[in-house]
């Protein structure tokens, strides 16, 4: 399978991706825990059907020490006992933020309040920004049909 466009060969795409990746670097250095960041990226990518991002973020999480049990249970986080209450709140916000078009009125107040119980304002800012960013990456990769499976941890570092 080949992507519809060669974004790595396009000067315009390279400029755009450089700026989007820079935004991601800001979030990586935020006070939001790194494990939570990867879980959120994985859950949004599952919802959006982005194989490219799933390949990348599951491998990056594993390389950072995330367990296979937790990685395998992200899609079923509600039933899994391996996530903290804070991670559950982040995953719920990620789901609601990713499915915004499906819910009249956007993210419910109770979902926001639950996240705010576990994260301070800087962490919430990072979490909201991360959800928006991974959704942008997912949409671009899904539209382009970016192939998945060959990613190596640290490949784009």
Give me the percent of the chain exceeding a pLDDT of 90.
89
Distance CA 64, CA 66 (A): 6
pLDDT score of 53: 98
User: What's the distance, CA 120 to chain centroid?
Assistant: 19
In the chain, what are the domains? 34-144 (1.20.1290.10)
For residues 14 and 8, the answer to whether their CB atoms sit within 8 Å is: yes
How many C-beta neighbours within 10 Å does residue 43 have?
23
d(CA 42, CA 53): 7
C-alpha 75/C-alpha 42 separation (Å) is: 9
pLDDT at 103 over 80: no
In the chain, where do the E strands start and end?
none
Average pLDDT over residues 104-113: 91
Instruction: Supply φ then ψ for residue 34, to 5 degrees.
Output: -60, -40
What are the pLDDT digits (tens) for 111-124? 999 999 999 999 99
Query: Is residue 156 predicted with pLDDT exceeding 90?
Result: no
- The secondary structure of residue 75, as a DSSP letter, is G
Q: What is the pLDDT of residues 19-42, one digit of tens each?
A: 999 999 999 999 999 999 999 999
H helices of 49-154, in order, are 51-63, 68-73, 85-98, 109-118, 121-144
Q: Does residue 129 surpass a pLDDT of 80?
A: yes
């Amino acid at each position: 399978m080949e992507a519809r466009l060669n974004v790595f060969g396009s000067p315009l795409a390279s400029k755009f991706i450089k700026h989007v990746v820079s935004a991601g670097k800001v979030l990586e250095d935020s006070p939001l825990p790194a494990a939570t960041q990867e879980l959120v990226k994985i859950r949004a990518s599952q919802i959006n059907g982005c194989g490219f991002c799933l390949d990348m973020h599951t491998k990056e999480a594993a390389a950072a020490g995330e367990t296979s049990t937790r990685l395998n249970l992200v899609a079923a986080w509600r039933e899994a006992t391996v996530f903290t209450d804070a991670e559950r709140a982040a995953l719920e916000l990620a789901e609601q933020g990713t499915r915004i078009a499906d819910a009249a009125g956007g993210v419910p107040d109770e979902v926001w309040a639950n996240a705010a119980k576990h994260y301070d304002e800087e962490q919430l800012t990072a979490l909201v920004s991360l959800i928006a960013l991974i959704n942008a990456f997912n949409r671009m990769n899904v539209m382009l049909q970016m192939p998945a499976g060959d990613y190596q941890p640290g490949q784009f570092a």
